[in-house]
Amino acid sequence: MTRSTNDLGFIHQFVPGAEGGDGVCLLLLHGTGGDESSLIPLAGSIAPGAAVLSPRGRILENGMPRFFRRLAEGVFDQDDLRLQTAALARFIEAASRKYAIKPERIIAIGYSNGANVASSVMLTRPDLLRAAVLFRPMVPFVPQSSPDLNGVKALFSAARRDPIVSQSETGRLVEIFQTAGADVTVHWYRGGHELTEDDIEAAASWISDWRAAL
């Protein structure tokens, strides 16, 4: 059984990949109210044999962990977003050294708040995360100048009936990434904000193709 550890600035879990595997590591970033164990059950379904690095968000909202503060639904505290994005970037760098993870083989898997902070890291540190699966992401911030995301690949898994993230919001984030040069795939699901088997199947197929191209 994997145990949580409280070092490198974040409570987190690390699960080594399969011996003799391809060295891919899933950076699992939970949604509001989740923790470092919430998305681990998905790992075997979407990327068999991959290592797992799963931090817990450091901010509490009514007792529920998040990766950064918000002022209201869909209104982000930009000062805290910058602070927590930088902290998560430092964690990824430190964990890569500690667990011997190759940065180019890290793929972020973010859901809701986790997808938002993953997007923020990618827009501010495009050298750090080169691939991501983003479930129900929103625009974390609008860059003053477009970053260089050439070589970055991302799957956006969005829902047409999501009461939290509108289709236009998804479109805005896709445009930001594409304008910056990222290779973006958008998967639309007809349901709401919750994760479904449809999301998992789409993610597994996309990640399989990404791994094959490494």
Span 72-106, pLDDT tens digits: 988 999 999 999 999 999 999 999 999 999 999 99
Which of 35, 96, 162, 187 is catalytic? The answer is: 162
Query: CA–CA separation, 24 vs 17, rounded Å?
Result: 8
Q: State the pTM of this model.
A: 0.97
Look at the block and give the residue holding tokens 């209104």: 75
**Across 95-124, average pLDDT:** 97
Which of 112, 119, 120, 157 is catalytic? The answer is: 112
Q: Is the pLDDT of residue 7 over 90?
A: no
When the candidates are 3.40.50.1820, 3.40.50.10090, 3.30.413.10, 3.40.630.30, the CATH number that belongs to 5-212 is 3.40.50.1820
Task: Give the chain's end-to-end CA distance (angstroms, integer).
Answer: 30
Helix (H, G, I), strand (E, B) or coil at 27: strand
Active site residue 162: yes
pLDDT digits (tens, 9 = 90+) for 160-201: 999 999 999 999 999 999 999 999 999 999 899 999 999 999
Active site residue 193: yes
